[in-house]
Structure 1
Amino acid sequence: MTRPRSRTRSFMSVVAVAAAVLAAQTVLAPAAQAFPSVERYGGADRYTVSALVSEKTFATGVDVAYIASGVGFADALSASAAAGIQNAPVLLVPSSGIPDAVAAELIRLAPSRIVVAGGPASIDDETLHDLRNYSLIVDRLDGANRYEVSALLSSDVFRPGRSVVYVASGAVFPDALSGSAAAGSLLAPVLLTAKDAIPAVVLAELSRLQPGKIVLMGGESTVSPEVARQLGEIAPVTRTSGADRYEVSAATAAGFRTDIETVYVASGLVFPDALSGSAAAIVNDAPVVLVRPDSIPGTVAAELGRLRPKHIIVLGGPTTIGDPVLTELQQYIGVSK
């Protein structure tokens, strides 16, 4: 349930709603499972899933919590990397209103600061105002477009002299879903680019960051050779690509060592569940790999076989990733390293 636009809740009514939602979640949320295991983080909708991912990952009293649109993907792609390195969650909201599950999670988290990623077209001013029920400091990082927002998210957190910066398409989501987790593991930002040209604000942020190298996510159909050439004038460029989004996610996960505890699995067809999952993956030094709703692509299966994690977390409900995939994932659980 999302708060109607026409009603502003008092803090006490917010607390009452939150208490009811938390009580319900103790019954509805998946129970914690011991290693080795395959566990699903599912919920009634993308907002509930984001709250559950946060609840399962982050302790009360976080320094910051990020709020991003659950309708569009662009702002959360960069927010995930910024959040993850600060041990912070990414919670999703619609363009207007705060879903009850998210309200409950914000009360539990008690963040010192809330960062809203994106402008009023993504998350309206009334919702921004209502977020002050949950933190004394609420900042909006707003820009003319998704590229400027990605640059602002980076400049808000990352200091110059980065060893690496990740760059991904701002027009499509799959490459950055896996790239955000990989970037966060290296304390690196994710910046978005157009296919055929690097926006000026992103070029300025790259100049400020002075990276030692740049990882370009995705093939030439999403980010052109011309953009790769322009990036090469700033720092050496390595392109992570593949025949499809699944192969790109497997190639990204290949950068993780084989003694990791956890792997996150998300749908390659829809974006919302992985947006919050990427921040959680960063905290757990874990990759995010993509699967189809009804099967595990061969390149991803091979990478799971290499990683042999003790714990696999599936992001989203059975309509996003079917139960047969969870059963198939069991064979990739490694009892010992």
Structure 2
Amino acid sequence: MQHHRGRTRIVGALSVVVATLAATLVPTVAANAITGADFDPGHIISDLQFYDNAAMSEAEIQSFLEARVAPTGCVTSNCLAAFKMDTFTRAADRNICTEYTGGSQESAARIIYKVQRACGISARVLLVTLQKEQSLLTATAPTSWQMTASMGYGCPDTAPCDAQFYGFYNQVYKAAWQFKRYSTPDPWGTYQPGNRYIQYNPNPDCGGSWVNIRNNATAALYNYTPYQPNAASLANLYGSGGSCGAHGNRNFWTYYHGWFGDPEYGGLPGVTVTRFDVANRYESSTRISQEAFPSAPVPVVYLATGHNYPDALTAGAAAARQGGPLLLIDGASIRPVVDAELKRLRPQRIVVVGGPESVPESVVQALSAYSPSVTRVGGADRYEVSRSLALTMNPQGPVNEVFVATGSNYPDALGAGMAAGYRKVPIVLVPGTDTALDAATADFIRRLAPQKITIVGGPVSVSPGVEAQLKTFAATTRVNGANRYEVSTNLARNLYATQRPTTVYLATGLTYPDALAGSVLAARKSAALLVSHPYCIHPSTLSAITDFKVNSVTLLGGPVSLAANVKYMVRCW
């Protein structure tokens, strides 16, 4: 059987790949400079990164392609940032790829994205392969041949390319299909994990060495391009390795390193990382609801606007206290995904959070189709809304504890909401920059008569004057940090000081919806919810995950909310 693999970049065919390599590396995360000594022939890329079917969104792929040809831009329509073509539907192929639904004039970004989803091969891997095979990402005017054999699929080293696999769509799909096939339960290919002899060059006289291939992804790369770089290739990382050099897998590793960070990152030992892969905040809230409440009916559903945070900030704690999810609505409409989830949940009652400006009366009226009881919790401002929600949690009072956070911004309040939901106590928003509490808030906290008050955030968020006044009501402590990520982790450490969480949920710290809905899930699962840097793992977040010794981490949101490097546990700095 013929092995359909990419052409190996030997010295005589090195072409523009090596010549342009050093000039086109554009790191996306902070990384140390690499040398040939960093290349590990037995573990070129982790399985987690290689088989990530949500590594990049279509928009991210398009932006990435455009950045590669900047500043001049595309010269011809073959340039991948501008390329489009009709594609045809491919049926699901056993346990390798799911169905690819064809379309008219699909962009290169869309084709790459859809193949990523169908075959479970990271778009990053496909992009790097396009570059290492035909320099297509940096070519502003690719030739017809570059497009014809764009992935080098069906182009063995010892024979002409197979014409049946010509064309960009064919090439991208079949290469991904082949990468995936190498790791199916019925493994195929010369190289599998374990000790294997791998040559340095198609010429056997150039020699080779035994390599302990440690994962399926690295085995797939060797099946596709069956040579390892020799010492000369690694010593001259962006140049030729001499007459016995073969540069395909070295170039794959070098491009990946420069564009996306270390390909060997594979999460933390013993920790499984998964993602709620959703398109937007509304899908996210329903996916979180399904995870938290797999059975119906539920006693209550809280609904809040997905357009702004003030009214919704304290709703998560109230929903967790009363045993129901928090769903987000899109302005004056109920999206189909939310409609379907409400029908599934069959709530005994629905609580709408916020006034008519947040959730129109027409939506409140429409909600009667889902539940016999629909009420609105509103107020003149976010502070009154938070007090009203606190009363729905503990209408009789007093309470053991109250969490206090500023209402001027959302990061601290998100953490407070998670903590309050976990402990099933109220969260009260305050105008934290004021020197003292307003009369309504002060009277309300006296009415709650808490034994303990926890301020979330530093003195810039909640002033020392407010803190001093709170101390006259109850024993008061403050959970602080240098930034929102440290505040989040310090709060989680405070909650789990005497026990370990079952898992860790991560939500972006730059927007509020995922963390807001996720606070109910975390409370229900006795899990820690941490807000994360959207592009990498903040050191404090990584430290907390490690110290908690959990065996699972779940990302709330797609790659637009939390980039692939968060899934791979790539440290920010």
User: Any gaps of 5 or more consecutive residues in structure 2?
Assistant: 1-116, 118-269
Q: Contact 1:151/1:201 (CA < 8 Å) preserved in 2?
A: no
TM-score (norm: length of structure 2)? 0.50
Compare the two structures and name the one with the higher strand fraction. Answer: 1
Matches of 1:70 and 1:205, distance apart in 2: 28
Task: Give 1:67 deviation, angstroms.
Answer: 0.1
Structure 2 SS opposite 1:254:
helix
Q: Where do residues 20-99 of structure 1 align in structure 2 (5 Å cutoff)? A: 37-58=272-293, 59-99=295-335
Among 312, 328, 334, the alignment partner of 2:569 is 328
Task: Give 1:308 deviation, angstroms.
Answer: 1.7
Q: Contact 1:76/1:90 (CA < 8 Å) preserved in 2?
A: no
Matches of 1:73 and 1:269, distance apart in 2: 12
Structure 1 SS opposite 2:312:
helix
Residue identity in the other structure for 1:307: F
Which position in structure 2 is the counterpart of 1:215?
454
Deviations 1:189-232 (A, max 9, x none): 11100021434332232122100010001011111111111111
Which position in structure 1 is the counterpart of 2:383?
147
Deviations 1:47-104 (A, max 9, x none): 1110111011112110000001111112222110111122210000122111110110
**Stretch moving more, 101-110 or 72-81:** 72-81
Q: Where do residues 1-337 of structure 1 align in structure 2 (5 Å cutoff)? A: 37-58=272-293, 59-158=295-394, 159-195=396-432, 196=434, 197-255=436-494, 256=496, 257-328=498-569
TM-score (norm: length of structure 1)? 0.85
Task: Give 1:258 deviation, angstroms.
Answer: 4.5
Residue identity in the other structure for 2:314: S
Q: Contact 1:41/1:315 (CA < 8 Å) preserved in 2?
A: yes
Task: Give 1:42 deviation, angstroms.
Answer: 2.9
Matches of 2:531 and 2:279, distance apart in 1: 21
Q: Residues 217 and 71 from structure 1, CA distance in 2 versus in 1: closer, same or farther, beyond 3 angstroms?
A: same
Q: Contact 1:95/1:121 (CA < 8 Å) preserved in 2?
A: no
Matches of 1:56 and 1:290, distance apart in 2: 19
Task: Give 1:301 deviation, angstroms.
Answer: 1.3
Q: Residues 201 and 61 from structure 1, CA distance in 2 versus in 1: closer, same or farther, beyond 3 angstroms?
A: farther
Q: Contact 1:64/1:112 (CA < 8 Å) preserved in 2?
A: yes
CA RMSD of aligned residues (A): 1.7
Identical-residue share of aligned pairs (%) = 38
User: Any gaps of 5 or more consecutive residues in structure 1?
Assistant: 1-27, 29-34, 331-337
Structure 1 SS opposite 2:569:
helix
Q: How many residues align?
A: 297
Deviations 1:109-148 (A, max 9, x none): 0000000011001111001111111101000001000100
Q: Contact 1:253/1:289 (CA < 8 Å) preserved in 2?
A: yes
Structure 2 SS opposite 1:319:
coil
Structure 1 SS opposite 2:474:
coil
Q: Contact 2:415/2:456 (CA < 8 Å) preserved in 1?
A: no
Matches of 1:329 and 1:157, distance apart in 2: 39
**Stretch moving more, 152-161 or 105-114:** 152-161
Matches of 1:262 and 1:180, distance apart in 2: 18
Q: Contact 1:167/1:191 (CA < 8 Å) preserved in 2?
A: yes
Task: Give 1:311 deviation, angstroms.
Answer: 2.1
Structure 2 SS opposite 1:192:
strand
Residue identity in the other structure for 1:161: P
Matches of 2:518 and 2:473, distance apart in 1: 31
Matches of 1:202 and 1:112, distance apart in 2: 31
Q: Residues 199 and 329 from structure 1, CA distance in 2 versus in 1: closer, same or farther, beyond 3 angstroms?
A: farther
Matches of 2:308 and 2:443, distance apart in 1: 25
Task: Give 1:327 deviation, angstroms.
Answer: 1.5
Which position in structure 2 is the counterpart of 1:335?
none
Q: Residues 258 and 327 from structure 1, CA distance in 2 versus in 1: closer, same or farther, beyond 3 angstroms?
A: farther
Q: Which has the larger radius of gyration?
A: 2
Q: Residues 243 and 38 from structure 1, CA distance in 2 versus in 1: closer, same or farther, beyond 3 angstroms?
A: same
Residue identity in the other structure for 2:487: V
Residue identity in the other structure for 2:388: L
Task: Give 1:182 deviation, angstroms.
Answer: 1.4
Residue identity in the other structure for 2:355: G
Residue identity in the other structure for 1:281: A
Q: Contact 2:515/2:531 (CA < 8 Å) preserved in 1?
A: no
Residue identity in the other structure for 2:278: G
Matches of 2:468 and 2:522, distance apart in 1: 31
Residue identity in the other structure for 1:328: M
